[in-house]
Amino acid sequence: MLLNNKCGVIVGVANKRSIAWAIAESLSREGAKLGFTYQTERLLEKVKSLVEGTMPGSPLCECDVSNDDHVKKAIDELGQALGKIDFLVHSVAFANKDDLSNGFVNTSRDGFKLSMDVSAYSLISLARAAAPYMTEGGSIIAMTYLGSTRVVPGYNVMGVAKAALESSLRYLANELGAKNIRVNGISAGPINTLAARGLSHFTALLKYAAERSPFKRNTDPSEVGDTALFLASNLSRGITGEIIHVDTGLHMLAQ
Ligand SMILES: NC(=O)c1ccc[n+]([C@@H]2O[C@H](COP(=O)([O-])OP(=O)(O)OC[C@H]3O[C@@H](n4cnc5c(N)ncnc54)[C@H](O)[C@@H]3O)[C@@H](O)[C@H]2O)c1
């Protein structure tokens, strides 16, 4: 039980296919007590029934990450319900469909701000709210994708937001290191989720990964979950500011 007596907050479960859910399953398997946020009232029933099925008694709280008051309130409520926060999982992203399909040069100003706000700034806001509850040190884990550093067709403004997210996690890692709080990212290969299906080229990305990656298959969400487990646990105590690729080896290919 790698996470006995450890508590943490999972941000980003929408349904059972969510990467955040795969992470929750790995962390819970190893003894962690979890609190969950859900984006809107509309998702409450789905998230609640998922959580009650396997992790009964876990506290839940609504949190739109683009609203600082929501973030502070949700983290305060979950931090108090759990007693402390040892880890925080950031698994949220959003971009307007138009900005993912109309060509990068046509990215709208509002769409750019929106995707930056939800997908990158939210990590800073959540880290600020959670740090006071990380009284025994902590681990913050953010989900990212290769489109941050490589041009991936159709990833467009999300690539820019992921670059900002990755840079933010390094600045946070530098500052929060003094409090023994580590901040790392997992760069996952394409996984069939609600958010991913909003990408115009997503089916092609899945196919490419299955055919060309060294493992000749797609990333399994449980592989991301178990890497998050490593990052949440004491086993990764010497690691911060790092991006770990869990993508069946895709990231190292020239094309
Ligand atoms: N699926 C992939 O192929 C893939 C690959 C690499 C990285 N990622 C990243 O993994 C993370 C999780 O995505 P997923 O693929 O599991 O999809 P998902 O749709 O299951 O999860 C996305 C989550 O973001 C939440 N969200 C969006 N806007 C929000 C807001 N304003 N406030 C609060 N929550 C909000 C949604 O409610 C949802 O729970 C994202 O950061 C995504 O970029 C996904």
- The 10s digit of each residue's pLDDT in 113-139 is 999 999 999 999 999 999 999 999 999
User: Is the CB of 248 within 6 Å of ligand 1?
Assistant: no
Asked if residue 16 is part of any domain, the answer here is yes
Domain that holds residue 49: 7-249
Confidence of residue 200 (pLDDT cuts 50, 70, 90): confident
- What pLDDT score was predicted for residue 157? 97
Q: Does residue 227 lie in a domain region?
A: yes
Distance 242 CA to ligand 1 centre (A): 20
Element (H, E) at 72: helix 68-82
Does 87 reside within a domain? yes
> Is the distance from the beta carbon of residue 165 to the nearest atom of ligand 1 less than 6 Å?
no
Is 1 a domain residue? no
Q: How far, in Å, from the CA of 11 to the mean position of ligand 1?
A: 9
pLDDT at 12 over 80: yes
75 domain-assigned: yes
Looking at the predicted structure, is the pLDDT value of residue 206 above 80?
A: yes
Does residue 19 have its Cβ closer than 6 Å to ligand 1?
Answer: yes
Q: Which helix or strand (DSSP H or E) is residue 9 part of?
A: strand 7-11
Instruction: For residues 170 and 180, give the distance between their C-alpha atoms in angstroms, rounded to a whole number.
Output: 14
Q: What is the radius of gyration, based on Cα positions, of the chain?
A: 17
Note whether residue 2 is domain-resident. Answer: no
pLDDT category at 215 given cuts 50, 70, 90 is very high
Does position 93 have pLDDT exceeding 80, yes or no? yes
pLDDT digit string, tens, across residues 152-162: 999 999 999 99
Q: What percent of the chain has pLDDT over 70?
A: 100
Q: Is the pLDDT of residue 183 over 90?
A: yes
176 lines ligand 1 (CB under 6 A): no
Whose CA is closest to 24, among 250, 253, 197, 226?
A: 226
Tell which one of 69, 143, 247 to mutate to probe ligand 1, the residue whose CB is within 8 A of the most ligand atoms.
Answer: 143
Q: What is the model's pLDDT at position 255?
A: 75
CB neighbour list of residue 222: distance below 8 Å, 6 or more residues apart: 22, 25, 26
DSSP H or E run through 165: helix 156-176
Cα-to-centroid distance, 12 and ligand 1 (Å): 6
Count of domains in the chain?
Answer: 1
What pLDDT sits at residue 77?
A: 98
Q: CB atoms < 10 A from the CB of 57, how many?
A: 9
In this prediction, residues 176-181 reach a mean pLDDT of 98
Question: Which CATH number do you get for residue 85?
Answer: 3.40.50.720
Q: How far apart are CA 82 and CA 31, in angstroms?
A: 14
Residue 254 lies in a domain: no
